[in-house]
């Protein structure tokens, strides 16, 4: 997946500079960046609290610019995380995706802040500098990632985010058991699981806690841990192991080319291969296009549900379009930073209109290769929302 590198006008000249050592460390990681673009790095490492205290000194940097860098990074980081999830064969459904992305999103900004030692190179207001709150760290990390996207591009930043994501997941490998149990309990109409501290064991410096988790159907499980939180996680694991072990079974998503071994593939194989040629994609990935061009109404009629996961394709596509639109919005906003009437929200409202996705559907002539159910064919092509999905 490729997004434009260095698509922006050069940043405003600023009196703020960062150390040569920091620039050198970035060069070692990513390679050389256009010297004129390095000011984006300087700007991104300036927190709004510093601007508030130094308005007379730093007039060339606007809060709108910092917000745009942050917005740009947030959209692309979400795409990167979802792309990682989409490629992970152990994540077999949207609930798995949601748990994965939630944990990574909660921790990735702290990981970026630490990875690049941003606390040592950022400009922060005097009142905030001594004790950095998570909010300030996350803002600086997002602004910084936005500047990296401008200077180095999506493809060079993505491996860093991949590495940090794997580190987060390794450190929090049991993160999802309480969430898993909660979703299970709610799906059975039992509400929230109840966690209760039963007793505390051991001396003050070596305490152990016993927590019991129970559901309204009378089932419960207990576990010991070094803290209440640790004991709660272990109790959730015990409950799942005893009463819902199938939740721990991970299903592989699918194997390449399996779509072309089904009845579905033969119906639009030629069109799918023409799409591959048009986008310079190898035939080994044709099954992805094949699935994405199979509407749920067709799946329901032919009972080939195990080969198609439309929701995942639609979600990933939405992330790609959002990132692309955000990139275009950022180009316009940063290129017109002196015009106060131009805002990110105004551009987003224009570019995120579902008509744009529908126009893309028509431009690519997707109706020629789309598999629809019989009942859907009469109304589909006039439905903007359906085309957008």
Query: Which tens digit of pLDDT belongs to each residue from 354-385?
Result: 555 566 666 666 667 676 777 676 667 666 56
Query: Which tens digit of pLDDT belongs to each residue from 75-84?
Result: 888 888 888 8
Residues of the chain scoring pLDDT < 50: 1-2, 250-265, 305
> CATH top-level class for 178-248?
alpha beta
Cα dihedral 332, 337, 338, 343 in deg (nearest 10): 70
What CATH fold (topology level) applies to the domain 20-173? Ribonuclease iii, N-terminal Endonuclease Domain; Chain A (1.10.1520)
**CA within 13 Å, CB half, 210:** 8
Tell me how long the chain is: 389
d(CA 25, CA 160): 14
Of 351, 353, 333, nearest to 341 by C-alpha is: 333
What was the pLDDT predicted at 260?
Answer: 43
What was the pLDDT predicted at 143?
Answer: 93
d(CA 55, CA 8): 25
- Which residues in the chain are classed under CATH 3.30.160.20? 178-248
What was the pLDDT predicted at 144?
Answer: 95
Of 215, 1, 183, 196, nearest to 102 by C-alpha is: 183
- Which residues in the chain are classed under CATH 1.10.1520.10? 20-173
What was the pLDDT predicted at 215?
Answer: 93
What was the pLDDT predicted at 275?
Answer: 79
Could you tell me the CA-to-CA distances from 205 to 62, 202, 208, 209 in Å, in that order? 51, 8, 10, 12
> Is the full-model pTM beyond 0.75?
no
Spell out the residues 6+ positions from residue 302 whose beta carbon is closer than 8 angstroms to its own.
263, 264
């Amino acid at each position: 997946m490729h997004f434009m590198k260095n698509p922006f006008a050069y940043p405003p000249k600023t009196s703020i500079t960062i150390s040569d050592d920091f620039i050198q460390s970035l060069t070692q990681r990513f390679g050389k960046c256009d010297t004129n673009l390095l000011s984006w790095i300087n700007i991104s490492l300036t927190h709004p609290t510093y601007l508030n205290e130094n308005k007379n000194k730093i007039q060339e940097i606007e809060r709108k610019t910092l917000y745009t860098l942050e917005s740009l990074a947030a959209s692309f980081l979400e795409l990167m995380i979802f792309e990682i999830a989409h490629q992970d064969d152990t994540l077999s459904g949207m609930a798995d995706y949601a748990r994965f992305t939630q944990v990574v999103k909660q921790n990735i900004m702290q990981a970026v802040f630490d990875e690049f030692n941003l606390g040592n190179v950022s400009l922060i207001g005097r009142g905030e500098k001594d004790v950095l709150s998570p909010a300030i760290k996350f803002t600086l990390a997002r602004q910084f990632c936005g500047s990296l996207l401008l200077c180095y591009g999506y493809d060079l930043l993505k491996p860093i985010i991949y590495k940090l994501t794997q580190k987060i997941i390794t450190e929090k490998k049991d993160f999802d058991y309480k969430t898993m149990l909660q979703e299970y309990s709610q799906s059975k109409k039992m509400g929230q699981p109840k966690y209760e501290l039963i007793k505390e064991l051991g001396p003050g410096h070596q305490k152990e806690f016993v927590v019991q988790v129970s559901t309204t159907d009378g089932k419960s499980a207990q576990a010991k841990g070094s803290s209440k939180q640790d004991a709660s996680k272990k109790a959730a694991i015990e409950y799942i192991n005893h009463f819902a072990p199938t939740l721990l079974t991970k299903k592989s998503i699918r194997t390449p080319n399996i779509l072309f071994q089904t009845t579905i593939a033969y119906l639009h194989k030629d069109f799918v291969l023409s799409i591959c040629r048009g986008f310079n994609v190898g035939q080994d990935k044709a099954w992805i296009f094949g699935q994405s061009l199979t509407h749920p109404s067709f799946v329901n009629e032919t009972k080939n549900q195990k080969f198609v996961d439309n929701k995942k394709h639609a979600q990933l596509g939405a992330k790609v379009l959002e990132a692309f639109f955000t990139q275009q919005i950022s180009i316009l906003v940063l290129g017109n930073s002196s015009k106060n009437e131009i805002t990110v929200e105004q551009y987003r409202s224009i570019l995120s209109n579902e008509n744009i996705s529908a126009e893309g559907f028509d431009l690519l002539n997707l109706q020629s290769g789309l598999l629809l159910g019989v009942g859907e064919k009469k109304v589909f092509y006039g439905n903007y929302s359906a085309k957008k999905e």
